[in-house]
Homo-oligomer: A and B are copies of this chain.
Amino acid sequence: MTATAASAATAGPAAAGTVRTTYRDAMRAALREALQRDERVFLMGEDVGRYGGCFAVSKGLLDEFGPERVRDTPLSEAGFVGAGIGAALGGMRPIVEIMTVNFSLLALDQILNNAATLLHMSGGQLNVPLVIRMTTGAGRQLAAQHSHSLEGMYAHIPGIKVVAPATLEDARGMLWTALEDPNPVLIFEHGGLYNMEGELAADAGPVDISRAVVRRPGERLTLVTYGGSLGKCIAAADELAREDISAEVVDLRVLRPLDTSAILASVARTHRAVVVDEGWRSGSLAAEVSARIMEGAFWDLDAPVGRVCAAEVPIPYARHLEEAAVPQVAGIVAAAREVVDAGG
């Protein structure tokens, strides 16, 4: 099962000093810690309070921290994201939750024209220490208005940071670091990961949000991925290993700014790469990764960099079509084989 594969790859063997948890609970623990450690922190979004969070991430926090700091909002994405920007300017440390990335388009004006722009446009006077969390991705048969992966669009915007926790450690640790960052940080949580279960160090805490990480070392090719596709890449690497194709799996973790050196370092070793991204292929983050490999490791390459992305369609409801629309293990394995067989 990809979920445990992913967490296993990161949590390592269950050891003393680890607890069994889920991505959802790890995220909630991070929220609780943030609310406890810094009274400037508050969580704001639709149904984060009384409802318990649309994916139950914030369940219980209302009782613990009250309606001021676990603040239910009306359906007003632009309004409450903008309010988060203003509150950040006013000295608070808001965590704004947007239920699903598709809805975040309603707030994109605030995010791009204000949050990402104010610091530079004001000549360095106004930084916006805001964290925005949202769910992304397909896999739950929620159809075309709830299933897209638009994080690549956000990764195009200067003035913000974009992270995608793919493991229990990162679900637990990225939030605090994001809150400490003086800039707007967007956290993309893949909806398919919330139930991912695994072992997490009992003392797990903040993690960096600047570096990509090799989740699985390998020699023959590099699989570059992030978020909901990490588990699939680990599974693909396992399958490739059975064919004696040793694949290295790089988890980008941070989608903006990209950790280019980590990508290039891996490709310098393997000379081959496939980028796996649940976003639509054209103009995907995968395209940027491919272009950077072109620019930074062209002479190292033994074959063209491959991409496994979402089909360029609105994600359909029917399970078989949804599965066909987004990267799957078999497709990753096939793409890896192709790249390995190609060229010299």
Partner of A112, one of B105, B294, B301, B343: B105
Q: Please measure, in the bound complex, the distance between the C-alpha atom of A294 and the C-alpha atom of B272, giving whole angstroms.
A: 12
| Residue ID in chain B nearest A103 by CB atoms | B109
Query: How would residues 110 to 138 of chain A score, 1 for a CB under 8 Å from any chain B CB and 0 otherwise?
Result: 00110011001100000000000000000
**Residues of chain B contacted by A105 (CB below 8 angstroms):** 105, 108-109, 112-113
* Contact for A313 among B158, B301, B314, B343, CB less than 8 A: B158
Chain B residues within 8 Å of A178, by CB: none
Q: How far is the CB of A56 from chain B (nearest CB, A)?
A: 25
Decide if the interface of chain A is mainly helix, strand, loop or mixed.
mixed
Q: How many residues of A contact B (CB 8 A)?
A: 53
Give the nearest-CB partner of A146 in chain B.
Answer: B113
Give the residue of B294, B312, B343 whose beta carbon is less than 8 angstroms from that of A290. Answer: B294
Other A-B pairs, 15, CB within 8 Å; known A153-B156, A291-B294, A298-B301: A108-B108, A113-B145, A117-B314, A121-B143, A152-B156, A156-B279, A158-B280, A282-B288, A283-B285, A286-B291, A287-B291, A290-B291, A291-B307, A295-B304, A295-B307
Which residues from chain A sit less than 8 Å from chain B, CB to CB?
78, 102-103, 105-106, 108-109, 112-113, 116-117, 120-121, 143-145, 152-153, 155-159, 256-258, 279-280, 282-288, 290-291, 293-295, 298-299, 301, 303-307, 312-314, 316, 343
